[in-house]
Amino acid sequence: MNEPRSTPKHFAPPGARAVGASIPHESATAHVTGAALYTDDLATRLPGVLHAWPVMAPHAHAWLERLDVAPAYHVSGVVKVLTAADVPGENDTGANRRDEPLFPRPATSDGDARPEILFHGMPVAWVLAESEEAAKLGAARVIAEYTPRAAILTIEQAIDAGAFHTDEERIVRGEVDAALAASKIVIDGELYVGGQEQFYLETQASIAYVDESGTMMVHSSTQHPTETQDVVARVLGVPAGDVVVQQLRMGGGFGGKETQANPFASVAAIGAVVTKRPVRVRLDRARDVVLTGKRHPFLGRYRVGCDADGTLRALRLALWSDGGWSLDLSFPVLGRALFHSDNAYYVPAMAVTGRVCKTHKASNTAFRGFGGPQGMVMIEEVLDRVARAVGLPADVVREKNLYREGHETHYGQRVEDADRLARIWGELKSDAQWDSRRREIDAFNASSQSVKRGLAITPVKFGISFTAKWYNQAGALVHVYKDGSVQINHGGTEMGQGLHTKMLQVAADALGLPIACIRIMPTRTDKVPNTSATAASSGSDLNGAAVKNACDVLRARVCEVAASMLGCTSDAVTIEGGVVRGDGRELPWAEVIDRAYHERVQLSATGFYKTPEIHWDREKGRGRPFYYFAYGAAITEVEVDAFTGMYAIRRVDILHDVGDSLSPMIDVGQVEGGFAQGAGWLTQEELVWDDKGALRTPNASTYKLPSLGECPPVFRTKLLERARQEGVVGGSKAVGEPPLMLAISVREALRDAVAACAATGRRGAVALASPATAEQVFWAIQTLREEGRATMPEPIVGVRS
């Protein structure tokens, strides 16, 4: 996939630093003109490519009694039907545990020899054909017979049945029972938080072929090329070195392609080996949504103790996540939920436990925030309960409990720059005119019967680093060619988040060249090996430091050569905008490179980086799992119709901390996009399964995504100033995930509007389901009416004749 990448033309003026400049995404023009290619676009360029289609089991849990693929071959164009018998290596694609059969196999636990179906839609065979149409027709002809079995479809059912993927994890600080017993006010509660479909625009896609050297070449829409390489090697039964995975760009990943590209790449690779032809696997939307995992739904049960002024004293929180049929990333996702169930608040005594439930559903996986959002929604729920129990405004109770200098989290990490929380809180409130708007909204609500407005502010504190320590490393490979042109390779993948743009900026400044002289190459496992997933928002921290490392090495070599040409010491040499200067003289970059080549100076370098200082003791539940925290806060105003529950977001103000931004335009895009995606999760996107475990919302027609229509008419995003983060490339902070959780302010603003329907004012609990769809907002108001706290507004009559 070597189509030209359009190099941005509108970047900073010559001589200016590239890092920190607001430049467009390196593929922006290609995105909007359609010139940008994605994995599946390659298929049209490959002669003889075969198309794949799955045969999917219509049961959530069953035995596969009989599989007869012969009838598929009666369809013209069908070349091969892949089943478990075709797997040359291991029939398993599990990334973290070998519990993920690619094709159904007998369960190890119950001794039954029949292959087991573990979720509704599980592929039992893949048909390969000359056209996608033929593959579909062939798949329809495969005969499969099943004996259905009892299925576990909810977290509650899993808890009752004792069906878990993991033991209980826990993080404890202090004597929680004693602190609860000593608390003036104690509140119990429960919250279920729904899942979310990633709904990346580009569905899962893979292409595999054996190249002229005998190498298995895989193009995959994967956030984690190294893991895809490992899994493909495993199912083929070959060493990883026999497999190359390339990733040009993705049309979104959002975590959904961190592990879950692997089975589709594996099917393509097996097909390519068996048929000796290129094989293309590309899911249509409905199959993508049904076959792949989503954000984990969570159930939380809590007991919180506080003072009469709302100061938190103790919290006991138990979490259960719905892991689906296999473990996948559920364990670290749960871990991140436990780490983030404090959000930005100091809880002196805290015990949080969690367990991953095993259900017969698609295997839930990474999704922007990676469990953090679920943990944070729980504590924000708790904060609101506390505020309504003590009768104080929620923003006052939230502010009172924010972390301050010197505090440690419940897992013992010092919150180093905790004062940023208070600073963001104060700056945002004044910038968004919180006080006057609060008064106006209260006055509006006092005079309006059927329409109520709500206002809320919520903070974000999000830990940056993979909690699996070994993942916090990255590599790069930078080549300078004889004519002075430069190629950079790094281990991260581009999914729209702007990682490649930032890497170009970092390389440009590190080498002293204009961005136009540098070309970023597609991510490939034969260029940079043993990479980590592009995830945990750490893509630019890790790869940026590795790219800079390689560029620094090259620059030092070039400076040596230049020094001899200019007659000065290498320390005195500067390189800026492609001009090499020293001792009052200057030389073009290309001339120095030409000399370096002829003097046999190595013009290629690898770079490497590993995050310092982080450590984690799982047994003790103590350590410093995060290199630093990203902070932010958002204020949202909503308007709710008390008759119907229909609502609109009127205004959003965000102040977010990205350190010294590497690329402000990209970062603002990440903040706005993250917020919109979070708002979708908390308010509109509702996954519905039927009682057989079939997903009834597999398409945009039944699954309501946020669109431009739901974006607030007033949407003000600012990046925190004077926010440099030492020790990170360019003084920046990670930005990919943290802003998603700013959307919790939408949920809390809706609750504020619902509460405004109650005559009891701010006192008394206001239950609100998640997602807070219009229907659920209606039921939240209706509950207040049933409790006698609110009345139905007078119907509006006589308005229309």
Active site residues: 737
**Stretch of residues binding ligand MOS (CB under 6 A), selected from 114-122, 367-375, 720-728, 772-780:** 367-375
Which residue number, 253 or 310, has a Cβ lying nearer to ligand MOS?
A: 253
CA distance 351 to 353: 7
Which residue number, 370 or 631, has a Cβ lying nearer to ligand MOS?
A: 370
Beta strands 714-719 and 647-656 are: parallel
Which residue number, 737 or 752, has a Cβ lying nearer to ligand MTE?
A: 737
Nearest residue (beta carbon) to ligand MOS: 255
**Stretch of residues binding ligand MOS (CB under 6 A), selected from 39-47, 259-267, 364-372, 669-677:** 364-372
Which residue number, 253 or 297, has a Cβ lying nearer to ligand MOS?
A: 253
Half-sphere exposure of 705 (CA within 13 A, CB side): 13
CA distance 37 to 43: 11
Do residues 478 and 607 make contact, with C-beta atoms less than 8 angstroms apart? Answer: yes
**Stretch of residues binding ligand MTE (CB under 6 A), selected from 79-87, 538-546, 582-590, 696-704:** 538-546
Instruction: Check binding of 542 to ligand MOS (CB under 6 A).
Output: no
Please provide the size of the chain in residues.
801
Q: Which of residues 253-282 bind ligand MOS (CB under 6 A)?
A: 253, 255, 258
Which parts of 584-657 fold into alpha helices (H)?
589-598
**DSSP secondary structure of 336-404:** HHHHTTTTTB--SEEEEEEEEE--SS------TTTTHHHHHHHHHHHHHHHHHHHT--HHHHHHHTB--
Instruction: Check binding of 370 to ligand MOS (CB under 6 A).
Output: yes
Collapsed DSSP state (helix, strand, coil) of residue 552: helix
Which residue number, 484 or 632, has a Cβ lying nearer to ligand MTE?
A: 632
Q: Which of residues 362-421 bind ligand MTE (CB under 6 A)?
A: 368
Do residues 762 and 393 make contact, with C-beta atoms less than 8 angstroms apart? Answer: yes
206 makes contact, choosing from ligand MTE, ligand MOS, none, with CB < 5 to 8 Å by partner type, with none
Instruction: Check binding of 496 to ligand MTE (CB under 6 A).
Output: yes
Distance in Å, CB of 709 to ligand MTE, minimum: 20
Instruction: Check binding of 27 to ligand MTE (CB under 6 A).
Output: no
CA distance 294 to 365: 6
List the structure tokens of 649: 């977001």
Q: How far is CA 179 from the centre of its chain?
A: 36
Do residues 424 and 720 make contact, with C-beta atoms less than 8 angstroms apart? Answer: yes
Among 536, 546, 640, 743, binds ligand MOS (CB under 6 A): 536
Distance in Å, CB of 25 to ligand MTE, minimum: 9
Instruction: Check binding of 219 to ligand MTE (CB under 6 A).
Output: no
Plot region of 24 (φ>0 → left; ψ -120 to 50 → alpha; else → beta): beta
Among 51, 282, 368, 398, binds ligand MOS (CB under 6 A): 368
Cβ partners under 8 Å of residue 767, min gap 6: 780, 783
**Stretch of residues binding ligand MTE (CB under 6 A), selected from 107-115, 259-267, 295-303, 729-737:** 729-737
Q: Count helices and strands (H / E) in the chain.
A: 18, 29
Distance in Å, CB of 254 to ligand MTE, minimum: 4
DSSP letter (8 states) at residue 523: E
Rounded to 5 degrees, φ, ψ at 732 are -95, 170
496 makes contact, choosing from ligand MOS, ligand MTE, none, with CB < 5 to 8 Å by partner type, with ligand MTE
Which residue number, 258 or 384, has a Cβ lying nearer to ligand MOS?
A: 258
499 makes contact, choosing from ligand MTE, ligand MOS, none, with CB < 5 to 8 Å by partner type, with ligand MTE
Residue 711 neighbours by CB distance under 10 Å: 14
Among 8, 582, 736, 739, binds ligand MTE (CB under 6 A): 736
∠ CA 623-626-628, nearest 5°, is 125
* Site map 726..745 versus ligand MOS, x via CB under 6 A: -----------x--------
Distance in Å, CB of 254 to ligand MOS, minimum: 6
Q: Which residues bind ligand MOS (CB under 6 A)?
A: 223, 253, 255, 258, 366-368, 370, 535-536, 737
Q: Which residues bind ligand MTE (CB under 6 A)?
A: 252-255, 368, 495-497, 499, 534-540, 670, 673, 734, 736-737
